[in-house]
Amino acid sequence: MKTDVTLKIAGAAGQGIQTIGDLLSEVCHQSGLFIFSVDDFESRVRGGHNFNLLRISDKELAAPGNRLDILVCINENAYDLHKEELRSGGIAIVNAEKPGTRNKTRFEIPLKKLAEEAGNKITANTVAAGAVLAILGTPFTLLADVLKNRFAAKGEKIATLNVAAAKKGFDAAKDLSRNTGFTWEAKKSHNIVLSGAQAAALGALAADCRFFPFYPMSPATGVISNVIPYTEKLCVVVEQAEDEIAAVMMAIGASFAGVRAMTATSGGGFCLMTEGLGLAAMTETPLVIVNAQRPGPATGLPTRTGQADLLFSIHASQDEFPRFVFAPGTPVETYETMKRAFHLAEKYQVPAIVLLDQFLANSRVTEKNSLTVAPDIERFYEQNNSGNDDTPYLRYALAQDGVSPQRLPCSGPGLVRVTGNEHDPEGHISENAANKIAMTQKRAAKLPAMIKEMDPPLLVNPTARVLLVGWGSTRGNILEAVERLGDQSMEIGAVLFKDLWPMDRKAIGKVLDNKQLIMVEQNESSQLGRLLAQEAGIVSFDTILKYDGRPFFPDYIVQKAKELVK
């Protein structure tokens, strides 16, 4: 049996909610347990209401939990807001001025006072972590080791102080300890805890991306900030642009010069990049853009989650051109997707868009560590060893497969000529009608090979009559829902897309044909459903849609699916 505990730590922004969550996560990770940790916060810096939702298990987790075993309330408001979410048998730890109520469902603990007793009130969060772990039945030494490690850099005094604070909390709650069923012991695990944003940064770096021009925007900033720790050891440059237009243009400029580059943005910023996207396409300059979706339109809910940019990403920029659109479902998948995005963008000389969202970008999840760096990397540039007036280098030679030989400027005798106007093979402006047809067809000719590069969707019980269909970050939620429905003897399968565009319409049509399809998406119009209708001739589908800016939970999908299955 799987042991499975869900905690929520709630309070105001600036109260260090995330610190507590991180500490708990770290202890669990060191004990070989799996976590799924989600942050929920407002678009403000201090105050308001925040929480960290932490699920812990001894088996791999695909989704966050929602019924709470432990609710940690840094203020009373948090208790009022979340007490209904406690499952029966759950307990709330509530910060108080002085020791108070103390029963199986509510435990008032004076965090600040205990911290002061330990030596400094700033360790109140560590006190809370100690209390929680006591309740979870964790041996104190595990926490102590994590704290020593964590504060090692800040000197022994700080470390000791925190251990003392943790002990205060731990002792205060010791007698509330319950058997969670976990085996608590320090274990070297082959797992990693990553967020999607972190994974995207790592994947890009592993793909030899060296230049990250960007403009800050939630939730994309996290991708870039996760590059920062590596700028000392790796020769990469992060540059904050004056706006998103500049960011995408810088990436294109760098790519033209042969350096892999990417930018990351969200909705409004992606809008501003769409002209550049078309330039990359027309000049056939490789380009990778991470669009970390957030609920809109316009500024919308800047710190919340949503999946409503699929069709925009596929159709963005005037006229038509081949592009890749990916939407990984987990951090590890994000890492792999980023590597592929760079590889494929360069191989086909097209833009690649990687869709993330706040839920995937910010959630920290334990997964098997399958991360690798390739021993060597394939680059798609031709030697620049020829070219003169009579036989110039033809940047846009009419290659049958659409992929003309690409060279680097100033790397040899061939002049590299690139323009966003329609151009002849040499790269000069051409208004000729036949040339326009030839060039349009050349660009479009890449599609068949691009389609072959697409991984098919993940199929779970594909023979079931009813299929839940999703894409991107809802993956884990759907997987768990299918499992639970199965436990309730409902034969339901799933089709989970990670590679979205271009689409192998025939293969996908076969999978979806003659099924009851239930689209599970975080948007209002079922964008994937509409896309499948267009591409694979799906005529009708049901939907489970959520567009309140909050992530799905498996429970919700299970419940809605039951209502829908005919």
Binding site for ligand TPP (CB under 6 A): 215-217, 244, 268-269, 272, 299
What residues numbered 28-67 form the site for another protein, per CB under 8 A?
42-48
Cα–Cα distance measured from residue 503 to residue 495, given in angstroms and rounded to the nearest whole number: 14
Q: Among 283, 307, 313, 358, which residue interacts with another protein (rule: CB under 8 A)?
A: 283
Cα–Cα distance measured from residue 552 to residue 478, given in angstroms and rounded to the nearest whole number: 9
Q: Among 106, 530, 555, 565, which residue interacts with its own copies (rule: CB under 8 A)?
A: 530
At 284, give phi and psi (nearest 5°): 55, 45
What residues numbered 349-368 form the site for its own copies, per CB under 8 A?
none
Q: Among 299, 383, 386, 559, which residue interacts with another protein (rule: CB under 8 A)?
A: 299
> Smallest distance from the beta carbon of 262 to its own copies, in angstroms?
19
Q: Among 176, 399, 415, 459, which residue interacts with another protein (rule: CB under 8 A)?
A: 415
Cα–Cα distance measured from residue 173 to residue 167, given in angstroms and rounded to the nearest whole number: 10
Which x/- pattern, by CB under 8 A, does the window 320-339 give for its own copies?
xx------------------
Q: Which does 140 bind (CB under 5 to 8 A by kind): ligand TPP, its own copies, another protein, none?
A: none
What residues numbered 420-439 form the site for another protein, per CB under 8 A?
420-421, 427-429
Size of residue set near another protein by CB under 8 A: 85
Q: Among 441, 488, 513, 562, which residue interacts with its own copies (rule: CB under 8 A)?
A: 441
Ramachandran assignment for 162, one of left (phi > 0), alpha (psi -120 to 50 degrees), beta (any other): alpha
Terminal CA-to-CA distance of the chain, rounded, Å? 31
Segment near another protein (CB under 8 A), from 365-373, 482-490, 523-531, 535-543? 365-373
**177 CB-side CA count, 13 A:** 16
Q: Which does 152 bind (CB under 5 to 8 A by kind): its own copies, another protein, ligand TPP, none?
A: none
Cα–Cα distance measured from residue 150 to residue 136, given in angstroms and rounded to the nearest whole number: 21
Q: 554-564 and 475-487 helices cross at what angle (nearest 10)?
A: 60
**E-strand spans in 183-283?**
191-195, 211-214, 237-240, 262-265
> Smallest distance from the beta carbon of 177 to another protein, in angstroms?
31
Cα–Cα distance measured from residue 512 to residue 510, given in angstroms and rounded to the nearest whole number: 6
User: Smallest Cα–Cα separation from 472: which of 522, 506, 536?
Assistant: 522
Q: Which does 319 bind (CB under 5 to 8 A by kind): another protein, its own copies, ligand TPP, none?
A: its own copies
What residues numbered 489-528 form the site for its own copies, per CB under 8 A?
523-525, 527
Torsion on CA atoms 314, 301, 64, 545, rounded to nearest 10: -60
413 touches another protein by CB under 8 A? yes
Size of residue set near its own copies by CB under 8 A: 70
Cα–Cα distance measured from residue 453 to residue 502, given in angstroms and rounded to the nearest whole number: 9
389 touches another protein by CB under 8 A? yes
Q: Which does 318 bind (CB under 5 to 8 A by kind): another protein, its own copies, ligand TPP, none?
A: its own copies
Close Cβ partners of 370 (under 8 Å, ≥ 6 residues apart): 332
CB 532 within 8 A of CB 289: no
CB 285 within 8 A of CB 260: no
- Which of 141, 386 has the CB closer to another protein? 386
Neighbours of 27 (CB within 10 A): 27
> In the structure encoding, which two tokens stand for residue 430, read together?
């051409």
- Which of 217, 310 has the CB closer to ligand TPP? 217
Q: Which does 293 bind (CB under 5 to 8 A by kind): ligand TPP, another protein, its own copies, none?
A: its own copies
**E-strand spans in 19-85?**
34-40, 47-57, 68-73
Q: Among 2, 59, 67, 374, which residue interacts with another protein (rule: CB under 8 A)?
A: 374
Cα–Cα distance measured from residue 197 to residue 330, given in angstroms and rounded to the nearest whole number: 10
Q: Among 81, 176, 311, 371, which residue interacts with another protein (rule: CB under 8 A)?
A: 371
- Which of 186, 259 has the CB closer to another protein? 259
Measured at the alpha carbon of residue 524, what is the angle toward residues 537 and 473, in degrees to the nearest 5? 85
Which x/- pattern, by CB under 8 A, does the window 240-279 give for its own copies?
-----x--------------------xxx-xxx-xx-xxx
> Smallest distance from the beta carbon of 38 to another protein, in angstroms?
19
Q: Among 259, 547, 556, 564, which residue interacts with its own copies (rule: CB under 8 A)?
A: 547
- Which of 255, 266 has the CB closer to ligand TPP? 266
> Smallest distance from the beta carbon of 445 to its own copies, in angstroms?
11
Handedness of CA 115, 118, 122, 125 (dihedral sign): negative
> Smallest distance from the beta carbon of 218 to ligand TPP, in angstroms?
7
Cα–Cα distance measured from residue 164 to residue 172, given in angstroms and rounded to the nearest whole number: 12
- The β-bridge partners of 555 are none
Which x/- pattern, by CB under 8 A, does the window 40-69 give for its own copies?
--xx--------------------------
Per DSSP, helices labelled H in 41-109 are 76-82
Q: 156-173 and 140-151 helices cross at what angle (nearest 10)?
A: 150
What residues numbered 189-248 form the site for its own copies, per CB under 8 A?
245
Peptide bond into 213 cis (omega under 30): no
81 touches its own copies by CB under 8 A? no
Cα–Cα distance measured from residue 401 to residue 144, given in angstroms and rounded to the nearest whole number: 61
Give contact residues for its own copies (rule: CB under 8 A).
42-43, 245, 266-268, 270-272, 274-275, 277-279, 281-283, 293-304, 306, 308-309, 311-312, 314-321, 419-422, 429, 431, 433-434, 436-437, 440-441, 444, 523-525, 527, 530-531, 533-535, 537, 539, 547-550
